[in-house]
Each structure stands twice: as C-alpha cells, then as structure tokens.
Amino acid sequence: MVAHPGEMTARDRFYSDRLEKTFFIIEATSFEQHTLWQNHHYYPTLSLDYRGFREESVSWDSLSGIIITIGHLGEKLVAISLSWVMVNGVPVLFWCPSSKVVCYDLIEKWFSENCVPERWGNGTRRSYTDANNFSHCRIAIKEYKDGEHSNPYKYPFDFPIHSPPKEIDLKDLEAFDLAKRQKDLDVCCRSCGRSDIRLYRSYGGFRRTEEDRCNEHLEEVCSGEDFRGWYVPLIVDDAGNAWGYTSVPQNAIDAFYGLEDFTQEKPYWCGPGERSDGISGWSNRSLA
C-alpha cells in the first residue's frame, strides 16, 4: 500500500490487509458519513430506499483510519483519508480527499492498484459509489448475506478490526530536557517569558503561540469560572510543533511532569496518580 512488499512495516501490512478485504468503497466527506450513520443507524425512520419504503436500521461500528499520500502533482502532494466502518458486519471503506490539491486520475489509479472489491449485481456493478447512492452498498450487502455475492470471504469477515500496530521510535523512549528544548526553540510563556516551567495552550483549535501561557498567567488569555478546562499542557516536539493532546510520547509526558508549575496556589495540572478518578487534568475540575 505505502511501500515495496519487502520494505513494509507492520502498520503497512495491517492497512494493506484491510484494503484487500474491503467489501465496498464509498466516497464521502466526514459530514456525509455522519449523515449516513444518522439516517441508516441512529434514526433509521428517516431513511427511505429508492422505492420510497422505510429501510431497516443497519449496525454501524466505526474503526480506525489513516491519511496517506498517494502521489504528487509537481511539488504538491495528493493525499486521501481512509476510514472503515463495519456495516451489518461487513467492512465498508469511506474515503475523501484530504490535501489542498486533488487529482481524481491519481486517486482512481491508486484504488485500481490497492483496493478492488468484488463486483455486485451478479458481477455487473462496481462496489464503489458516493454518499448519495449508499443504497447500492446496502443492496450489495444484502446480496452477500443472501449468498448471491461472489466475494471470496465467508461471513463474518476475516477483517483486521483492532487498531494498527504502533511503530516505536527509539527517540520516544529516551529521556530529554524539555526546559532546554523550550528555551532553544523560543517556546515560552508569552507573558512572563519563562521557558523553564510547565506551559499550556488552548485546546480544540489551531495553536496561537501568542496565547501560550504558564499557569500564573492563564487568566490573561481567557476568562470564566472554568476557563482552565479549555487549556491543556503545551508539549512540543524537536521542531517546535505542539503534540496533539492524545499523541504525546511517554518520554515527553515524563519531561512535562518533571518541570515545576509556576504556582501551587492556583489549580494545577495533575498526573493520573494525583487525582481520585485516575485521569490527568486540572486539580479543581471533575471529569466524572
């Protein structure tokens, strides 16, 4: 999928196996996929088939996905987002463009080389559609369940459901000096200028470096009784980019907790062992 067979990692093999065993492909944005889930699973009474009849609810189990680069146009990369859903126990692949540049010729070529499900409708129709024609997928699944489909995999599918293996980078296991990294990269509290203490950033949007603060000065960038609930630890990688809140490697987490907080007089960020609920978070904020 993303490498020569002899160079494939465990993660590559995981997703290649998924692509090989995909039953149906649907082009859909995340909103379209959510709407399909809503109409066909959560609120099935809203869904009509092509004859105007009410359709039965389908089971809908979302699995993990991936964004991959499939090629380039000049110096611009072309990337797509892939996510799988088990619809009535059958693996359906949802995809949509995720790069600024989109080339459907490249995308079609990539699918023809990496993911070509068996045809449905007695072998006459491609197992590929868009969100507007999701009923085609439902009909194909019904054919399969009724034994009229030529897919070689017996039900239930031998499909890799669990999360892909995580590639371990040895750098993620080595201890490092977060205060030194912050100083070298000019990552600091934009109010007091300190880089040798715990720093925080806003959560739920793009990071604005001018709003990076230590605990002492968070009130300057937001207000409200529970404003700290919108701020999380700022932990940067070796390029100065903030790690996603759920993606920080363990050695970086340890380095963050190794720094002092500016003050203990105000609520402070606790590690999992410091709170009764066992979850990291602000000391004054219940997550129950």
The pLDDT of residue 157 is 58
pLDDT, tens digit, 9 for 90 and up, residues 37-71:
988 886 655 555 555 555 678 889 888 888 888 99
Asked whether residue 130 falls in the same domain as residue 92, the answer is yes
The percent of residues in the chain predicted with pLDDT above 70, rounded, is: 75
Higher pLDDT: 266 or 75? It is: 75
Place of tokens 């009849």: 53
Q: Are residues 112 and 175 in the same domain?
A: no
Flag whether 152 is in a domain: no
Distances (CA, A) of 267 to 16, 134, 196, 270, 285: 47, 50, 19, 9, 9
Claim to verify: residue 141 and residue 251 sit in the same structural domain: no
- Tell whether 270 is covered by a domain: yes
Number of domains in the chain: 2
Per-residue pLDDT tens over the stretch 25-36: 999 999 999 999
Range of the domain at 204: 170-282
Residues 187 and 134 in one domain: no
Considering the domain architecture, whether residues 179 and 120 belong to the same structural domain is answered as no
For residues 29 and 135, state if they share a domain. Answer: yes
> Which of 269, 129, 283, 153 has the alpha carbon at shortest distance from 213?
269
The answer as to whether 153 is a domain residue is no
Residue 7: pLDDT band (50, 70, 90) is low
pLDDT: which is higher, 285 or 201: 201
Residue with tokens 């969100």: 131
In a domain, 69, yes or no: yes
Say if residue 107 is in the same domain as residue 179. no
* pLDDT at position 250 over 90: no
Q: What's the rounded mean pLDDT across residues 107-119? A: 93
Residue 162 inside a domain? The answer is no
pLDDT at 196: 93
Residue with tokens 């090629």: 71
Are 112 and 231 within one domain?
no
Read off the pLDDT of each residue in 246-267 and give the average, rounded to a whole number.
Answer: 80
- pLDDT band (50, 70, 90) for residue 218: confident
d(CA 219, CA 227): 8
How far is 215 from 202, CA to CA, in rounded Å? 12
pLDDT in tens, 151-180: 555 545 577 766 666 555 555 556 778 999
Q: Are residues 67 and 124 in the same domain?
A: yes
In a domain, 125, yes or no: yes
80 and 193 assigned to the same domain: no
Same domain, 138 and 249: no
287 has pLDDT over 50: no
Residue 96 counted as domain residue: yes
Pairing of strands 76-87, 90-97: antiparallel
**Res 253: pLDDT:** 86
State which amino acid sits at residue 228. Answer: R
Residues 179 and 87 placed together within one structural domain of the fold: no
Let me know if residue 117 belongs to a domain: yes
Q: Is the full-model pTM beyond 0.75?
A: no
Average pLDDT, the chain: 81
Q: Taking phi first (over 0 means left), then psi (-120 to 50 degrees means alpha), and beta for anything else, what does residue 121 get?
A: left
